[in-house]
């Protein structure tokens, strides 16, 4: 074997420095998105209202279905998980047969995968393919009936699954309460970034949900500063994060609709960058670098993790942009999309479903798709790509199917 090369020396130096130096972090998990703090700032009203709606569970009664609305990073998920965690502690003490099931529909990506995950949380093993939605749902509901389980299902980013597929899964959930025995129930907690989400629901589903609604306002700059200062106490060693860094971090996140999640992400990445540089402090320069890094990575990851039809639509947008750089109307886009889908042997979605996915891509900041009036010809969306074409192309190339079309 040959002698160890220079790359090994560099790695040894990095590893030794990491082992021998003192970390600027005390607990970086405090800065993770899935962290549930012991106390939540500036959301007392929402916590109180949410807790009051769910409290009948403690008497064995079905609570109302609830929809939580608000922009990304306004505390919807953390409040939902905080309140249900506290409630579950009481449920265990009272020995009630009640379970909380949590699904992020974007991560599950399809309705069937949602049911597989829900089944796993109820100790039901569903095959990854081969069952219809109704059969998979029936197996889950049969388990609830047999065991007398009351179930609260938290569907995070619920709009994603409805816009990209349909609301069949919600229909299954709403109708099953009529079939459960001995007073058992299923309640839905839906979390959405889109206030207009209900417009996509079938009237039967909307009627069955009969939900209560809560809207979470964006955080102000001052509130974001207070949230960051509170996290810094347990995340970093004393004196590590400069006051100016906190202010810049809060200011950048406030410009993104008061997004606390972005603020905390910025702080974590800035801390990691500072530590890699061997710095004892996190300053404004680290925050600026972190902002650039997150924005670049976020766009790439968003595109790379889109479901097949989302990628097909984006490929259709890319093809139209390369052919003619002006804004694209939905008719031209749909023609591109259906041609690409059929070339892969995939059944195209309806124009209504495509419109929903375009709205999702708009919310994600990948395209701009406002509705414009065409006079007596009606209304349509004008689509414009708002991220670099190179980033879109590179992310789409990672999917072998889409890559074959692009080539």
Residues in binding site for ATP: 74-78, 219, 231
Strand stretches in 70-198, DSSP E: 98-104, 150-156, 186-192
150, with CB counted inside 10 A (0-12, 13-18, 19+), is buried
Task: Return d(Cα 249, Cα 243) in angstroms, integer.
Answer: 10
Task: Return d(Cα 405, Cα 393) in angstroms, integer.
Answer: 11
Q: Which residues contact 273 (CB under 8 A, 6 or more apart)?
A: 286, 289, 290, 293
List the structure tokens of 378: 């009606």
Got the DSSP string for 262-315? HHHHHHHHHHHHHHHHT-SSB-HHHHHHHHHHHHHHHHHHHHHTS-HHHHHHHH
- Ramachandran area for residue 157 (φ above 0: left; ψ -120 to 50: alpha; else beta): left
Whether 153 and 186 have beta carbons less than 8 Å apart is answered as yes
What pairs with residue 187 in β-bridges? 152
Residue 25 is given by DSSP the state B
Q: Which residues are annotated as a binding site?
A: 74-78, 219, 231
Q: How many CB atoms are closer than 10 A to CB 338?
A: 18
Q: Which residues contact 22 (CB under 8 A, 6 or more apart)?
A: 237
What pairs with residue 151 in β-bridges? 99, 186
């Amino acid at each position: 074997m040959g002698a160890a090369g220079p790359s090994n020396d560099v790695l040894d130096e990095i590893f030794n420095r990491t082992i021998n130096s003192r970390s600027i972090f005390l607990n970086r998990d405090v800065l993770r998105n899935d962290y549930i703090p012991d106390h939540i700032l500036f959301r007392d009203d929402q916590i109180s209202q949410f807790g009051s709606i769910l409290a009948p569970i403690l008497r064995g009664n079905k609570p109302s279905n609830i929809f939580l609305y608000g922009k990304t990073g306004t505390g919807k998920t953390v409040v939902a998980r905080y309140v249900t965690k506290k409630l579950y502690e009481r449920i265990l003490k009272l020995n009630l047969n009640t379970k909380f099931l949590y699904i992020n529909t974007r991560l599950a990506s399809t309705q069937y995968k949602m049911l597989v995950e829900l089944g796993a949380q109820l100790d039901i093993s569903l095959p990854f393919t081969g069952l219809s939605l109704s059969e998979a749902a029936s197996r889950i509901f049969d388990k609830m009936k047999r065991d007398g389980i009351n179930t609260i299902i938290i569907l995070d980013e619920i709009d994603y699954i409805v816009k990209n597929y349909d609301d069949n899964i919600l229909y299954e959930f709403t109708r099953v309460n009529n079939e459960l025995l001995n007073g058992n129930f299923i309640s839905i907690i839906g979390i959405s970034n889109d206030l207009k989400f209900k417009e996509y629901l079938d009237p039967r589903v909307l009627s069955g949900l009969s939900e209560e609604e809560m809207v979470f306002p964006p955080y102000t700059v001052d509130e974001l500063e207070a949230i960051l200062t509170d996290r810094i106490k347990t995340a970093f060693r004393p004196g590590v994060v400069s006051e100016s860094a906190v202010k810049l971090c809060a200011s950048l996140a406030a410009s993104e609709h008061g997004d606390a999640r972005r603020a905390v992400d910025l702080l974590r990445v800035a801390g990691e960058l500072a530590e890699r540089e061997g710095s004892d402090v996190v300053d404004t320069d680290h925050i600026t670098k972190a902002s650039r890094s997150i924005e670049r990575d976020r766009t790439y990851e968003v595109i790379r993790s889109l479901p097949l039809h989302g990628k097909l639509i984006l490929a259709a947008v890319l093809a139209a942009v390369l052919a003619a750089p002006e804004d694209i109307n939905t008719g031209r886009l749909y023609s591109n999309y259906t041609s690409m889908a059929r070339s892969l042997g995939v059944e195209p979605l309806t124009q209504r479903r495509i419109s929903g996915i375009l709205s999702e891509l708009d919310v994600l900041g990948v395209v701009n798709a406002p509705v414009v009036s065409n006079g007596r010809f009606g209304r349509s969306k004008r689509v414009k790509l708002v991220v670099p074409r190179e980033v879109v192309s590179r992310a789409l190339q990672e999917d072998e199917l889409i890559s074959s079309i692009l080539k």
